[in-house]
């Protein structure tokens, strides 16, 4: 192991990585997703039709909306909890 010099940057995810999702360069939480009005409208209409999405529907919706499947899954979980609180 040579020390990291100017000619060779540290590997990705190394100690000098300061990714915005990871405060301090350590495994922190992701930043909050700011959904556009169009995305929210699409998510809400999908939720009105079906409160639970299967893997195929989630994949299809994520691809169409240019979001990750995890973001779709989390939005639906949060929306179900919101509905539960309202009832």
Residue 71 in any domain: the answer is yes
Residue-range definition of the domain harbouring residue 50: 37-86
Residue 2 in any domain: the answer is no
Q: What is the pLDDT of residues 3-62, one digit of tens each?
A: 544 444 444 433 333 344 444 556 678 788 899 999 999 999 999 999 999 999 999 999
Q: Which two tokens stand for residue 37?
A: 């009005």
Q: Which residues contact 10 (CB under 8 A, 6 or more apart)?
A: 4, 16, 17
Name the pTM for this structure. Answer: 0.66
Residue 77 in any domain: the answer is yes
Residue 58 in any domain: the answer is yes
What's the CATH code of the domain at 67? 1.10.10.60
Residue 21 in any domain: the answer is no
- Number of structural domains (the chain) is 1
């Amino acid at each position: 192991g040579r020390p990291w010099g100017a000619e060779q940057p540290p590997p990705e995810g190394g100690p000098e990585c300061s990714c915005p999702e990871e405060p301090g360069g350590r495994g922190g939480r992701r930043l909050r997703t700011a959904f556009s009005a169009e995305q929210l409208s699409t998510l809400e209409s999908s939720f009105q039709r079906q409160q639970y999405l299967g893997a195929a529907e989630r994949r299809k919706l994520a691809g169409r909306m240019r979001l990750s499947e995890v973001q779709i899954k989390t939005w639906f979980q949060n929306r179900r909890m919101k509905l539960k609180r309202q009832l």
